[in-house]
Chains A and B, each alone.
Chain A
């Protein structure tokens, strides 16, 4: 079963329903040690980076050990940002640091776009990864965020809203999506199914 890490950042009902439609069973680990038995780990989250403070050293260690043992990990939105070194939204708080880079506030740029970035926007594929297998190019997915991760070598897809930022990242079996696949219709479910398939294959 795939572990859905609940650290109090937002409502998880939609994520559960999305994975249910992707054919996966989720459980919510009550203690960090529970993730050791998981076939995959999902770190969801919405809101302020400060909320990730609830993922204390015990959770961080348990997730690192599981990932080290080959367990696929998917961070969604704030959960993706947490996989990086940190965020200027809460500079005193470290991220998990599995991916290099820092999350920064989106800037409107010359297009003078609205921040937060809310709604359906297109993905531009910049790399290959099993997590995006079968995804149509220029797929629309649903975003809602004010902070984002810059485009690095780990970016598999980017999106542009005032500036270009990383929309999907992948390194080994660690994945992050800045948008909400559970709210992104067929394109989102495709990504969830791809992740579930990797978990099932272990």
Chain B
């Protein structure tokens, strides 16, 4: 049976992980390759490296990071953050990324999704959608959640899938950083509208939140960053919990 995936997100700046790393026995906690190795040993299903710098120096550091992580990890690796062009995507793939995640660039240049899908396959193209609740639905925001757009989340997800995106990384801006739970309504609305997998993001705080987003939210995968730093065996424990509550996971 197809497993629900747990995806860890590493926010990386100039080659260092910048968000909430607190493994006590990991002296070089900021080293993404060490953290990735740790996650892998705990059974994470996939990794996302999010570049939060997007400067020229940051890009070089990012390529080194992707190389270091992909050399020893044999699980899917997605790279996002500041991928704006065919060349940015090519650099990420050359360094060892399996997927690139596009957000603002896909909104401003939707054919980019199709060009990348034609060149690398749809499985390598993730569209990242940042959405916020509005009166009637869910509005899409660009530029890291800062810039409003005239698009609705469900409509944009359907269009992006039609243009060649192979997965949707759906972040609830309302829930991001709150640890109040994923937005299951948003996730279910998008997941029901498309046939490609939906990765839910934003709001993870407890094991129950993951259970809810996989069942009520109909998510195919769930992504979190700092929640996996809660304890040393968070991922293994979470998987055991999900398995015991009837959610299929890889173990």
Mark A residues whose CB is within 8 Å of B.
9-11, 13-14, 17-18, 20-21, 46-48, 113-122, 140, 142, 144-145, 160-161, 182-186, 188-189
User: A17-B71, A120-B3 given as contacts; is B195 within 8 A of A114 (CB)?
Assistant: yes
User: How far apart sit A135 and B70, CA to CA, in the bound complex (Å)?
Assistant: 23
B residues in contact with A117, CB < 8 Å? 2
Q: What's the minimum C-beta distance from A103 to chain B, rounded to whole angstroms?
A: 16
Pick the residue among B76, B166, B195, B197 that contacts A142 (CB under 8 A): B76
Residues of the B chain whose Cβ atoms lie less than 8 Å from the Cβ of A18: 74
- CB pair B123 A9 closer than 8 Å: no
Q: How far is the CA of A10 from the CA of B45 in the complex (A)?
A: 22
B1 touches A160 (CB 8 A): yes
Residue from the list A11, A121, A185 in contact with B120, Cβ < 8 A: A11
Is the Cβ of A120 less than 8 Å from the Cβ of B45?
yes
B121–A10 touching, CB < 8 Å: yes
Interface string of B147-181 (1 = CB under 8 A from A): 00000000000000000001100000000000000
Q: A161 with B2: in contact, given A21-B74, A116-B122, A116-B166 (CB under 8 Å)?
A: yes
A17-B96, A183-B74 are known contacts. Are A118 and B250 too (CB-CB below 8 A)?
Answer: no
A166 to B123, CA, bound (A): 20
How many chain B residues touch A (Cβ–Cβ < 8 Å)?
31
Interface majority SS (helix, strand, loop, mixed), chain A = mixed
List the A side residues contacting B220 at CB < 8 Å: 114, 118-119
Q: In the complex, what residues of A have CB within 8 A of residue B121's CB? A: 9-10, 46-48
Report how far A120 CA is from B5 CA in the complex, Å: 8
Please name 5 pairs of A and B residues whose Cβ atoms are closer than 8 Å in the assembled complex, sorted by A.
A11-B124, A21-B74, A46-B123, A119-B220, A140-B250
Complex contact A185–B196 (CB within 8 A): no
Taking a contact as CB atoms under 8 Å apart, the answer to whether B75 and A183 are in contact is yes
| A188-B74 contact in complex given A47-B121, A114-B220, A116-B123, C-beta closer than 8 Å | yes
Residues from chain A with a CB closer than 8 A to the CB of B3 are 119-121, 140
Q: A13-B95, A140-B3 are in contact. Are A118 and B71 (CB under 8 A)?
A: no
Q: How far is the CA of A165 from the CA of B152 in the complex (A)?
A: 37
